[in-house]
Homo-oligomer: A and B are copies of this chain.
Amino acid sequence: MVIKYKLKKKSSECKARLGEITTPHGTFETPVFMAVGTNATVKTLSVEELEELESHIILGNTYHLWLQPGDDIVRDAGGLHKFMNWKHSILTDSGGFQVFSLAKLRDIKEEGVYFKHHKSGAKLFLSPEKSIEIQNNLGSDIMMCFDECPPYPASHEYLEKSLERTLRWAKRCKEANRNKDTQGLFGIVQGGEFEDLRKRSARELVVMDFDGYSIGGTSVGEPKEIQNKVLDYTLDILPEDKPRYLMGVGSPGAILDAVERGIDMFDCVLPTRIARHGTAMTTNGRKILKNKEFERDFSPLDNKCDCYTCKNYTKAYLHHLIKADEILGYRLISIHNIRFLNNLTKEIRDAIREDRFMELKKRVYEEYGLKDGGKDF
């Protein structure tokens, strides 16, 4: 296996686990949060800033990079790591989620998906083989299988057919990988909210033996309880010696809930997306920096945070930058928000190491003002 997972500690209170992943570009502990670098850049940030934030792995988007600049250009540049000057691990998604969320007029066939470009309307085609070809050109450490990502809710009948095709696609993805020694591949469990489908999906993927497994079809509008239930009846089937990744999840409450159920990896655009609207995640809950209450607040954004922004700037300055639509404002809040999630996952790892995860979860829920089962940020 290209991707190595070492289980370092299991919680005695729940299914939370402390682990360590090694990829061709480094080793890091899990649970881990991955910042999203859609267009070969984590929005507004330099790679040195990401290093300072102790990000060890970031996500790149296959769909976006395929269309711009084109995966052939990234390949000719020496791969995504070299193109964007990032020396650490990269996970790329398969493009599947974007095909089903951004693109227009999809036509799903056994061979792949025909669709139109989300802006230009140009005719496009993605298949398991094409997705892996693109991801091979990008040269990520961890690739994802090309899957159908059905909306929520969908019928058992529809999801069963979709799932069967996605399983056939997973097999084709594995066969298509031409960099078996340098690029790992994760299978994606689908099946919507249905226990039988999720279990079947997980079992068949495990037989195919992937480097890791992700839980797909989440964060597509379903209630948090359903997300948790899906994890409850899926994760036990996945092998203990492989990493498990919950796609598109990055709010503190959802991370805690998923870690409790045995998830190791997370990604989400949340910290950078809300930063662009001037919203910060703090240990006292959400702060909307445009609000007048911060106009003369000369204290740091988050007293408990050790990031560059909190060490050097006041809420009044951030308020001003956001009001003036200055890019430095988005940059400083992005730095803080990513550090916030990296600090949270570090706290989680330390708590599992010391077997006090449930106590941490309770404290964080209280401190951040999170509500069980509700949206938190």
Contact = CB atoms under 8 A, between A and B. Distances in A.
B44 A327 contact: yes
B320 A39 contact: yes
A40 B332 CA distance: 14
Contacts of A43: 326-328
A362 B46 CA distance: 37
A85 B313 contact: yes
17 contacts: A39-B326, A40-B317, A40-B321, A43-B326, A44-B331, A46-B331, A68-B324, A69-B295, A69-B316, A69-B319, A73-B316, A77-B314, A77-B317, A83-B314, A83-B316, A327-B331, A331-B331
Contacts of A27: none
A68 B324 CA distance: 7
A84 interface: yes
A335 to B, nearest CB: 10
A219 interface: no
Nearest to A308: B46
Contacts of A317: 40, 77, 83-85
A328 B298 CA distance: 28
Say whether chain A's binding surface is mostly helix, strand, loop, or mixed.
loop
A195 to B, nearest CB: 41
Interface in A313-342: 313-314, 316-317, 319-321, 323-324, 326-328, 330-331
Contacts of A328: 41, 43-46
Interface string A50-91: 000000000000001000110001001110000111000000
A8 interface: no
Contact of A39 (B68, B316, B321): B321
A45 B39 CA distance: 20
Given A39-B321, A40-B317, 10 more contacts: A43-B326, A43-B327, A43-B328, A44-B327, A64-B324, A69-B320, A73-B320, A76-B296, A84-B317, A85-B312
A59 to B, nearest CB: 15
Contacts of A84: 317
Given A69-B295, A83-B317, A312-B85, A327 B330 contact: yes
B323 A69 contact: yes
Contacts of A39: 320-321, 324, 326
A326 B69 CA distance: 12
A77 B316 contact: yes
A323 B69 CA distance: 8
A73 B317 CA distance: 10
Given A39-B321, A313-B85, A317-B40, A295 B327 contact: no
A330 B295 CA distance: 28
A316 B78 CA distance: 12
Given A73-B296, A76-B296, A320 B68 contact: yes
A41 B77 contact: no
A331 B85 CA distance: 15
Contacts of A313: 85
Interface string A129-166: 00000000000000000000000000000000000000
A326 to B, nearest CB: 5
A293 to B, nearest CB: 13
Given A69-B295, A295-B69, A312-B85, A320 B40 contact: yes
> Which one of A76, A84, A314, A317 has the greatest number of beta carbons of chain B within 10 Å?
A317
Nearest to A320: B69
Interface in A24-50: 39-41, 43-46
